[in-house]
Chains A and B, each alone.
Chain A
Amino acid sequence: MDSRSLVSEQVRSAGARARDWLVAAQKLEGPDSTLNPRHAFQILVGLWICEQGLIEDQTFACTSAYTHKVCQCIPDDTEEAMEFLYSDPALVLFSLGILRFFDVHSSQIELFATKISELLQEHADQDEEEANELFLVRFLLRRLHLHAPLPAYTLHEMPAGKLIDADDASVSMLVKNIMAATHYGQVTRGMETNFVQTLNSLLPVIMFDYFRTYNLEAGMQILRCMRYLHMYENRSRGAGLHFLLAQQQTDGHFGFLAYELNQLKTTEHLTSPDLHVYLPLTVSFLWTIAETAHPQFVLTQSF
């Protein structure tokens, strides 16, 4: 086993429980008795992470079986389909990569990918912030052979005093910048700088601060960044993983958000919290746990 790996039986059984929950979530329907395509894509990606990144089940039984259902969820009307696909291009491109892995063809998704590829290749990013913002989509397009090779992105340095006080918006920008500058962990040449040393010390601090306040998504993004910066020796990586595993409910989904759900006013979230709240969060947990426990697995490069 790779010395950087934190894979354990606990991680595998968490993956197996989450897979069971995702399989059951397929049966959850919206008010019009159909599964929202967004949720279908989220389930597909979640199953893929479980089987590829956590359980390491090379038969991919559940993911494979689900691929056809995903295609059926896309609206027949092309305009309607495109409107949906543009609402979360990264999720769609993740799904396309998985569908291609299983040789399942969806002309609508392929068409969407081609269109967004044309759009982005013609588009010049206005500034560093926009470049980082669009990096994930460009990166996925590149993986799908629909984008020219990506240039090097600069890791934007900031003083330690500013980093420790960074607010949510600044942390979010930093996280996107790290993902872009490292190409999701593929590029680390020239990263042996004092600033990376500063990140090695301060990213865990910010991660624990988010976990303490139960801002799970923000904490998980930082934990994933630690993987992309190859901080394998950092003890906080194992501690962060331990914390995440403790957030799994007995039926397999992640997070304890009854309090936040009670604060939500929208009926959509209240009537099916499993789909609207817990499904995207669970996929995020699976993504983070897989990349932390098993560094060979990087979601954006997994298909």
Chain B
Amino acid sequence: MAEQFDKIYHCYDHALNWLEERKELFNPLAYESDHASSDIYLTKALGELGLLCMLYCRSVDGEIDPRIARFLDLISSIWEQADYQERIMRRPEYFQIYTMVYIVLRQCNIIPETNKPLIQRVIDQGYVIATETTPMRMLDRRHMLDCGKFTYSLPAYEDIYHQTLLARSPELAYLTDNDVYAITHTLFYLTDFGRTPSPLLHGEHLAKVQWIIETLLGLYVRRKNWDLVGELLLDCYCLHWYPEVIFDLAWETITQCQLPDGSIPGPRYSQEQLATLDDTASLHYCFEENYHTTIVNALTCFLTYQELKTSANGKPKG
């Protein structure tokens, strides 16, 4: 057991080093770009790094990992730029992506509520909560607004949940990767990333959800898709439930697949393609292909490590 804890912690530690060494690549303001899509891509990546920090801070008391502190410094320095803040008002079609940074910094008690009225005004204008989206994205929207303590008018979690793929007990053999992402994210938002047990998940329905997650976890371990393996393991944490055999197997394979530099390979990452690139192109290629998988698995490693260690009555590191 102790050996498994150490492996999980080492995976987190190593992944965090990789992220820190590349933290400037997360800065959407660092590069002059005429392409709105690359700006959005980097802002999304920054938000995901922020989510890692936010969920880390929620789960530890006292001192935080200095690398997390440095990520928060970076995120805070970006937020302080008027150029960044104004994007929330000027480009409300990307409201969630831009506002994520504010929410992270508020949840981590880094910034005051000063900007909240301005953001609330964008919400009150109606557009950002009226745009059409999938039920899983609607849960995401609601969850984010709750984290930011904003007021809004959206259907209840229960009503939205009943429209999701997960609630409708899909046929597993037909699920695409995108369907599985919809399932993993539904559980993230429904449980507030494991913070609150959802009253919607109980009895027979909970057992069915657990079976879906367990089977999909096995399927994606078999397919070596570490991005979805990481998300499905995070779902196990969200449910505070660890399926025998497949859970241990998934951790064993995740720790084995970690690259020597600490990153976890994404689904499209290819060593063969990497070999054809020069140093600069390699740096960007590895970042683009692996940053999300590395963040997800670093987060999952840390949260799982904390929980397992605590439940084993040990003293967690970090």
Binding site for B on A (CB under 8 A): 160-161, 164-165, 197-198, 200-202, 204-206, 208-209, 211-212, 235-236, 239, 242-243, 246
Chain B residues with CB under 8 Å of A201's CB are 214, 218, 243-246
Given A201-B218, A206-B222, A208-B219, residue A164 in contact with residue B173 (CB < 8 A):
no
Asked if B215 CB lies within 8 Å of chain A CBs, one says: yes
Residues B172 and A164 in contact, CB atoms below 8 Å apart: no
Residues B245 and A160 in contact, CB atoms below 8 Å apart: yes
Closest CB pairs A-B (n = 5): A205-B218, A201-B245, A211-B173, A235-B211, A160-B249
Shortest CB-to-CB span from B198 to chain A, Å, is 20
Residues A208 and B252 in contact, CB atoms below 8 Å apart: no
Q: List 10 A-B contacts (CB under 8 A).
A: A160-B245, A160-B249, A161-B253, A201-B214, A201-B246, A202-B246, A205-B218, A208-B215, A209-B222, A212-B219
Shortest CB-to-CB span from A177 to chain B, Å, is 19
| Choice from A161, A208, A236 contacting B249 with Cβ under 8 Å | A161
Q: Other than A201-B243, A202-B245, A205-B221, give 6 A-B pairs with Cβ distance below 8 A.
A: A164-B218, A164-B249, A164-B253, A201-B245, A202-B246, A242-B171
Given A161-B252, A161-B253, A164-B218, residue A208 in contact with residue B246 (CB < 8 A):
no
Complex: how many Å from CA A96 to CA B226? 51
Residues B172 and A208 in contact, CB atoms below 8 Å apart: yes
Shortest CB-to-CB span from A45 to chain B, Å, is 26
**How many inter-chain residue pairs (CB < 8 Å) link A and B?**
58
Complex: how many Å from CA A242 to CA B171? 9
Shortest CB-to-CB span from A183 to chain B, Å, is 25
Residues A198 and B215 in contact, CB atoms below 8 Å apart: no
Binding site for A on B (CB under 8 A): 171-174, 207-208, 211, 214-215, 218-219, 221-223, 243-246, 248-249, 252-253
Chain B residues with CB under 8 Å of A208's CB are 172-173, 215, 219
Shortest CB-to-CB span from A251 to chain B, Å, is 23
Among A165, A236, A239, max chain B CB count under 10 A is at: A239
Shortest CB-to-CB span from A266 to chain B, Å, is 29
Chain A residues with CB under 8 Å of B207's CB are 235
Chain A residues with CB under 8 Å of B208's CB are 235
Residues A197 and B245 in contact, CB atoms below 8 Å apart: yes
Q: Taking CB as reference atom, which chain A residue is nearest B248?
A: A160
Among B172, B174, B211, B249, max chain A CB count under 10 A is at: B172
Chain A residues with CB under 8 Å of B243's CB are 201
Complex: how many Å from CA A212 to CA B170? 13
Shortest CB-to-CB span from B217 to chain A, Å, is 8
Complex: how many Å from CA A222 to CA B28? 50
Residues A205 and B215 in contact, CB atoms below 8 Å apart: yes
Given A239-B171, A243-B173, residue A209 in contact with residue B249 (CB < 8 A):
no
Complex: how many Å from CA A198 to CA B244? 9
Q: Taking CB as reference atom, which chain A residue is nearest B250?
A: A164
Complex: how many Å from CA A212 to CA B249? 21
Chain B residues with CB under 8 Å of A200's CB are 245
Shortest CB-to-CB span from A257 to chain B, Å, is 16
Complex: how many Å from CA A235 to CA B173? 14
Complex: how many Å from CA A200 to CA B243? 12
Residues A165 and B222 in contact, CB atoms below 8 Å apart: yes
Chain B residues with CB under 8 Å of A204's CB are 215, 218
Chain B residues with CB under 8 Å of A209's CB are 219, 222-223
Shortest CB-to-CB span from B205 to chain A, Å, is 12
Q: Taking CB as reference atom, which chain A residue is nearest B249?
A: A160
Shortest CB-to-CB span from B118 to chain A, Å, is 48
| Choice from A164, A197, A236, A242 contacting B222 with Cβ under 8 Å | A164
Given A198-B245, A202-B246, A204-B215, residue A243 in contact with residue B171 (CB < 8 A):
yes
Chain B residues with CB under 8 Å of A239's CB are 171-173
Complex: how many Å from CA A243 to CA B170? 11
Chain A residues with CB under 8 Å of B245's CB are 160, 197-198, 200-202
Chain A residues with CB under 8 Å of B173's CB are 208, 211-212, 239, 243
Among B208, B222, B243, max chain A CB count under 10 A is at: B222
Q: Taking CB as reference atom, which chain A residue is nearest B245?
A: A201
Shortest CB-to-CB span from A161 to chain B, Å, is 6
Complex: how many Å from CA A165 to CA B218? 10
Shortest CB-to-CB span from A28 to chain B, Å, is 30
Chain A residues with CB under 8 Å of B219's CB are 205, 208-209, 212
Chain B residues with CB under 8 Å of A160's CB are 245, 248-249
Given A164-B222, A211-B173, A235-B208, residue A205 in contact with residue B252 (CB < 8 A):
no
Residues B244 and A205 in contact, CB atoms below 8 Å apart: no
Shortest CB-to-CB span from A2 to chain B, Å, is 21
Residues A205 and B171 in contact, CB atoms below 8 Å apart: no
Shortest CB-to-CB span from A174 to chain B, Å, is 14
